[in-house]
């Protein structure tokens, strides 16, 4: 009964919000979930201007274990270092994702060893799988023939996009060795050239568009 109520609340919220709202996910563990404070507002502005979305320009922050996550069809998560989900938080996130929600995790640097362990709490029977460069998320609006673009250098590795699927629907996207969020930030934060920031914003717009249409 509890899950049914949650599902109904989620779908009611999606209709109320016209399925175009995103929120920043706050988590425990000591990682800086609040990193890149200008990234989401800039991505939202870019999307509202260029792909005709109507997203609230001031994204809210929601906690993993809160029922508030069901009010948002799109959650964004970032940071450096440790991530920790309690069992209840993992269950809440699993219910959200299997009920129609979507989570984008952008590794700012150093999240991978902690994140993979915590995602096993959310989906014990699922693995992160790398998305091929011809996946629709790389061409929903803007074409990225080589897949996920490289925005910032970390350890000299190639940028990779990993996903978790539930009943053939992509419910979670993990962007690794890419740092889209840094590219979305205000220009003076990292002094990235316009071309790099535009590339990051276009890939972000692809993700937003893909999620809202699927």
| Residue 1 confidence (pLDDT) above 50 | no
> What does the H/E/C string look like for 88-126?
HHHHHHHHHHHCCCEEEEEEEECCHHHHHHHHHHHCCCC
- Residue numbers of the domain that contains 106: 2-213
C-alpha 132, offset from chain centre: 18
Give me the pLDDT at residue 212, please.
Answer: 93
Task: For residue 79, give Cα distances in angstroms to 110, 144, 153.
Answer: 8, 25, 16
Residue 32 has pLDDT above 90, yes or no: no
Rounded distance between C-alpha atoms, residue 85 and residue 94, angstroms:
11
d(CA 146, CA 49) in angstroms, rounded, equals 25
Q: Which pLDDT score is estimated for 15?
A: 39
Domain tally, the chain: 1
pLDDT at residue 123 in the model? 97
pLDDT in tens, 34-45: 888 899 999 999
Mean predicted confidence (pLDDT) in 108-122: 89
| H-helix or E-strand spanning residue 196 | helix 194-213
CATH number at residue 99: 3.40.50.12140
Overall average pLDDT of the 179-201 stretch: 87
């Amino acid at each position: 009964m509890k899950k049914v109520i949650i599902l109904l609340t989620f779908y009611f919220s999606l209709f109320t919000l016209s399925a175009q709202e995103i929120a920043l996910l706050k988590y425990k563990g000591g990682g800086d979930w609040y990193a890149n404070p200008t990234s989401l507002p800039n991505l939202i502005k870019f999307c509202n201007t260029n792909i005709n979305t109507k997203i609230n320009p001031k994204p809210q922050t929601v906690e993993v274990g809160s029922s508030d996550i069901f009010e948002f069809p799109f959650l964004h998560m970032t940071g450096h270092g440790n991530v920790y989900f309690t069992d209840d938080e993992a269950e809440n996130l699993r219910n959200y994702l299997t009920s129609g929600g979507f989570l984008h995790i952008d590794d700012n640097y150093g999240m991978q060893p902690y994140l993979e362990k915590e995602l096993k709490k959310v989906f014990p029977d699922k693995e992160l799988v790398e998305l091929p460069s011809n996946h629709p998320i790389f061409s929903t609006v803007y074409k990225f023939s080589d897949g996920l673009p490289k925005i910032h250098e970390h350890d000299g590795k190639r940028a990779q996009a990993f996903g978790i699927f539930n009943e053939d629907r992509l419910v979670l996207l993990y962007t690794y060795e890419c740092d889209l969020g840094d590219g979305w930030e205000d220009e003076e934060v990292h002094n990235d050239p316009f071309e790099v920031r535009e590339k990051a914003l276009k890939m972000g717009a692809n993700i937003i568009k893909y999620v809202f249409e699927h």
